[in-house]
Amino acid sequence: MEFLTVAQFDKRKIADALVVPMWQGPKAPGFAVECKPVHALIQPLITAGDFKGKEGEFAVLYPKGLPEKRIILIGLGEQDKATTEQLRRAYGSLVKGTMGKKIKTLNLLLPEISFLSEDSLVRGVAEGILLANYIFDRHKKDTNKTLLEKVTLIDHGKKVLDIANKALVICEGVYDVRDLVNENADVVTPHYLAQCAKKIGADYPAIKVTVLTKNQIEKEKMGLLLAVNRGSAHDPAFIIMHYKGNPQVHDNTVIIGKGITYDTGGLNLKATQMEIMKCDMAGAAVTMATILTACRLGLPVNLTGVIPATENAIDANSYKVGDIYTSFSGKTVEIGNTDAEGRLILADAVSYACQRLKPTRLIDFATLTGGVDIALGNEATGLMSNDDALADALIRAGSETFERVWRLPLYDEYKEALKSDIADLKNVAGRSASTIRAAIFIKQFIQDDIPWAHFDIASTAFLSEAVRYHPKYATGVGVRLMIDFLEHL
């Protein structure tokens, strides 16, 4: 059964509810779409003042004479302030309201907004519904929540359906990230990530996948990735995914994702929050899902994904604080803290990408520092870049998708704290500007002429509570931003 369909009002099929959008007004709410047969049924509720049309407001009526069992009123907020994000939030609230009511099918009247493009309007509605319509309950025997199974857009045709279905493809990429990040770390090992990538390559011939095993990683002399892996019972994997959507050009966007499938902190054992450290491979999941989604959409771009994958576990063979390890690039690194492992595996990955993959631009995603949460909280992802044009394009994409980013500086003076007396670099420099200095560490392994951007998603990839249309735990942040960015290359 298709999740999204269209139908004319008088030819629609029976659904569990008919959804009617309402604007918040100075005296009373107003209908956001013309549908006189329904308006008369709703008017008594409005006259009584029991529904105001505030953003996210939700009310259920049980009318007679309609095919649907229910009419659901949703508040959109003030009409003159309507934005795509406002629609996402309103329709996300709709889905959260239906989950506990065993509602599986909706007939949906879309609002009419003259100053929003049809694409922006439909995308906001569809994304709000789709992003909220997610539950991770595969390990739970009983659940009182029900996902929507079918949504019919009333009085609209193929163009609107195409826009909504594109949003569905993108949100399926978001689901892929959420599923990977939410799953048990004992399941999502480096080998499991490699198998997921291989399956994508088998299912989508346009995506070519190569996985370097531990022996191959040793031959490549990726000493930092190997060091982090030393305490783990699971071998590392170095995953490379190529998507050629436009083979006639040499442009190649390389996306690198941190793939720490579980992070104990190593010998610098974490004192808190180890229970959420299965999320430390969120950057890897974003990388994999972005390439898959671009392929599903048939985007005319060339992408290469790189995922250095390992656990940062602890045993008698764990890599040691104070020791020095040699990177793929040949630079040596003094270890000041084994819990600053993400930048180490990224250093080997970006060096490999710069030397072997001919990137036009390089973008990495990593749940890298706790400092980014202190600086920005969970409303913005930290962005650092050596290229203004690349940073501006990513900021624009983040604003458009409401996966907002905030650029932090990469002043040369911050590099001083990474100097070592006994190696080329050390991997930590204290708490001050920790997010920036982590990025500057990675920057030392980027060729100067390659535009590079670093996303620290530590505070936005995994939430302790549900926020708007994002569920508790994995959010899938990054996929929608990257698809929008790639579409505007």
Among 343, 361, 404, 426, the active-site one is 343
Q: What is the C-alpha separation between 319 and 335, in angstroms, rounded? A: 9
343 is catalytic: yes
**pLDDT tier at 455 (50, 70, 90 boundaries)?**
very high
Rg of the chain over Cα atoms, rounded to whole angstroms, equals: 24
pTM over 0.85? The answer is yes
> Half-sphere exposure of 28 toward its Cβ, with a 13 Å CA cutoff?
11
Among 52, 69, 198, 270, the active-site one is 270
% of the chain with per-residue pLDDT over 90: 82
Query: Over the range 18-43, which residues count as b (16 or more CB within 10 Å of their CB) and which as e?
Result: bbbbbbbeeeebebbbebeebeebbe
**pLDDT tier at 241 (50, 70, 90 boundaries)?**
very high
**pLDDT tier at 404 (50, 70, 90 boundaries)?**
very high
Check whether 142 has a pLDDT greater than 80.
Answer: no
Contact 255, 304 (CB under 8 A): yes
Mean pLDDT of 441-445: 97
Check whether 481 has a pLDDT greater than 90.
Answer: yes
Mean pLDDT of 298-304: 98
Contact 148, 95 (CB under 8 A): yes
Confidence at residue 169, expressed as pLDDT on a 0 to 100 scale: 97
Check whether 447 has a pLDDT greater than 80.
Answer: yes
Contact 166, 467 (CB under 8 A): no
Q: At what angle do helices 118-132 and 158-182 cross, to 10 degrees?
A: 30
Mean pLDDT of 198-208: 97
